[in-house]
């Protein structure tokens, strides 16, 4: 999870190098891009998801995706997300990951 769209896009570019080599589907979801294409990628199935908290919560709240298969959650620049006021969103997302 990334605090900004710009950082999410950077992470997506770097991850793409490895996911294509390993044949792993990946996607990035963040505000500022059409939801439809991002939702299509999610529904096709992904092994690695790069997301900003707002868009991820949007998809989770509308039951358009879930975190049932989430194995690891990486909080990129967690301190910055806290500074930006994402604490409640981060907690909501973490609570949606089944134990």
| Mean pLDDT, the chain, integer | 96
Query: Residue 88's pLDDT is what?
Result: 97
pLDDT at 89: 97
pTM (predicted TM-score): 0.92
Whether the CB-CB separation of 30 and 5 falls below 8 Å is answered with yes
Beta bridge partners of 26: 48
Distances (CA, A) of 54 to 4, 57, 58, 93, 99: 10, 5, 6, 10, 22
Q: Which two tokens stand for residue 9?
A: 């896009």
Write the pLDDT tens digit of every residue in 31-62: 999 999 999 999 999 999 999 999 999 999 99
Q: Please give the average per-residue pLDDT across 68-76, as a whole number.
A: 96
Q: Across residues 4-27, what is the average pLDDT?
A: 95
Reference 92, options 58, 64, 65, 43; nearest CA is: 58
DSSP of 42-83: HHH--SEEEE-HHHHHHHHHTTS---TT------TTHHHHHH
pLDDT surpasses 90 at 99:
no
**Per-residue model confidence (pLDDT) at position 38:** 97
pLDDT in tens, 18-31: 999 999 999 999 99
């Amino acid at each position: 999870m990334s605090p900004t769209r710009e950082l999410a896009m950077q992470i997506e570019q770097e991850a793409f190098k490895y996911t294509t080599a390993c044949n792993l589907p990946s996607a990035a979801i963040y505000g500022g891009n059409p939801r439809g294409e991002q939702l299509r990628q999610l529904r096709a199935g992904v092994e690695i998801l790069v997301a900003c908290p707002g868009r991820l919560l949007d998809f989770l709240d509308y039951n358009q995706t879930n975190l049932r298969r989430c194995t690891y959650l990486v909080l990129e620049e967690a301190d910055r997300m806290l500074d930006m006021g994402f604490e409640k969103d981060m907690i909501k997302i973490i609570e949606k990951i089944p134990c």
